Amino acid sequence: MTQCEKKLCGTCLLRNPWKGRGLAHTEEERRENGLTGLLPAAVETRAQQVARWKELIAAQSTPLNKYLMLDTVRMIDEALYFQLVVENVEEYMPLIYTPTVGEACQKFSHIYRAPRGLYITAKDAGHVREVVANVPNEEVDIIVVTDGQRILGLGDLGANGMGIPIGKLALYTACAGVNPQRALPVTIDAGTNNEEFLADPLYIGLRQKRMDEDSYYALIAEFVAAVRERWPNVLIQFEDFQNTHAFALLDEYRNKVPCFNDDIQGTASVVVTGFYSAMRVKNEKLSDQRILFLGAGSAATGIAHLLADAMVEEGTSREKALGNIFLYDSKGLVSGRRTDKLAANKLPFAHDVECASTFEDAIRQLKPTAIVGVSAQPKSFNAEVVGMMAEYNEHPIVFALSNPTSKAECTAEEAYKFSNGTALFACGSPFAPVELNGKTFVPRQGNNSYVFPAIGMGCIYTRAKSVPNGVFLAAAKKLADLVSAEDLENGSLYPPLSEIRSLSVEIAAAVAEYCFDHDLAQIERPACLKTAVAQAMWNPADPQF
């Protein structure tokens, strides 16, 4: 080790994204750390640095270029990056995550510039413990892991899927104050069946078809064991796994280690929030709704089960709650009368109803009060679909949740226009306010970012032993409580994302309370949970690296 490295001075300090602060280093710091002459004379405030980078980001012509410019900030100065994001969260969240992260993942091998996170490949089978030992982080509180097989609505992106855990963990920090030095993005590179990537000379991943099932699950088991051995309290978030694997992994590990699947459970939590808000507008009970999903994958069934949990909490039976929920998949309405073999996750919703071969026919037959799009089928909530919903309901619930934007079932403008302004609308990607009939509607995303960072923070703070479904319902109820009457009047079923840090304190405290009340916490309960959680949140203005 060189003398410079021991003291972390000079260029070693300037090039360290955790310690270097560029022109914000004071004159005293410059003298003490060998920086004199290595920086221009100006000593800047963090506000000045933020202003410069905002100008540079704004000058970029495309969202992807803005994404790359933000990533450049992060490579130089982590604390400054998060200060930028925290202060401009509504503007930058669509760049860090959906919809821009979809394009970033598709092009990840071509925009790859510097290593971040951990890659575990099929070739590492039998040696994952040694690979995990190479991670420099002494402590890790949370891991977001993907295998890249089902990235957003874009399919198998292989190792290019690493953009997802990187983006998710950035939101953990920006939204809920999870310490970025204690967060680890992981990609399980089990190969890819994407022929375009396998033929791409710049593809960064393993050049082979995906592993067989037995070898795949063995590799995942080795990974879970290795990270739990090194960091016994680590929280694991499974992200963007193919449906069969997503359910299998959640079933395998949910009662063994603190873990959750954001596509199944996090999405469900934020969508249930939207339903709670819609019930305030309609002045009705959730258990009185008939809900039809377009799509029957992990997101759909995850949302459906949590909706059923919420109905049961209102006092209805589980059987009746499940009977209020219907799925429509690529072969039509999921019905007990279908002759094809249904996947296990669809069976609880295979009711004794007539088969319907079009979504429009399903609506005519069921007359639902709500439709939820998780299909990645753009424009499927067309004028006929939304028009029928408005005919059957004074305030039809229309949730077009697929992302990125190109996959949305309808736009906000279409939902309001086709329903003549009566729809209660939520979306998976951002849309601008809509003017109709002299009123301005402010649609807001049913964005997982409202809940998963705070759920993670609450579980990390309490060192939760597991993450049961009740945690996600607790988060949904708390978020719904934070939606104001003014929000509802403007057509917003969620509060402004600009308030995400304060919202996260409330939600994380509610999650922590659930953990204490259900004997999941491994720490002593503080006198005031909200204060304790707020104090535990990492702040980029006082990074304490």
CA-to-CA dists, residue 345 to 166, 182, 247, 336, 432, angstroms: 29, 34, 8, 13, 35
d(CA 250, CA 234): 16
Residue 65's nearest CA partner among 37, 23, 107 is 107
One-letter identity of residue 443: P
Tell me if residue 539 falls in helix, strand or coil.
Answer: strand
DSSP bridge partners of 237: 144, 260
Q: What DSSP letter does each residue of 508-527 carry, written as one string? A: HHHHHHHHHHTT---SPPPS
d(CA 386, CA 248): 35
DSSP bridge partners of 355: none
**DSSP state at residue 158:** G
Provide the phi-psi class of 467: left if phi over 0, else alpha when psi is between -120 and 50, else beta: beta
d(CA 397, CA 419): 10
Q: What DSSP letter does each residue of 179-227 carry, written as one string? A: -GGGEEEEEEE-----HHHHT-TT--S--SPPPPHHHHHHHHHHHHHHH
d(CA 214, CA 490): 51
Query: Does a cis peptide bond (omega within 30 degrees of 0) precede residue 40?
Result: no
d(CA 490, CA 107): 37
Q: Are 482 and 274 in contact (CB under 8 A)?
A: no
For the chain, the distance separating the N- and C-terminal CA atoms, rounded to the nearest angstrom, is 21
- Tokens 């439709």 locate to 371
C-beta contacts of 40-45 below 8 A and 24+ residues apart: none
Structure tokens at 443: 């649609």
Residue 296's nearest CA partner among 259, 252, 260, 340 is 340
- Tokens 């799509």 locate to 295
Q: Which residues belong to the active site?
A: 97, 168
* Torsion angle, alpha carbons of 8, 10, 15, 20, to 10: 70
Pairing verdict, β 325-329 and 332-333: antiparallel
Tell me if residue 441 falls in helix, strand or coil.
Answer: strand
Query: What ranges make up the beta strands (E) of 246-338?
Result: 259-261, 291-294, 325-329, 332-333
Exposure b/e, 429-461, CB count within 10 A at least 16 = b: bbbeebeeeeeebbbbbbbbbbbbbbbbbbbbb
CA-to-CA dists, residue 430 to 26, 52, 106, 281, 416, angstroms: 40, 26, 20, 22, 15
Structure tokens at 348: 């609880």
**DSSP state at residue 263:** I
Structure tokens at 42: 């100006």
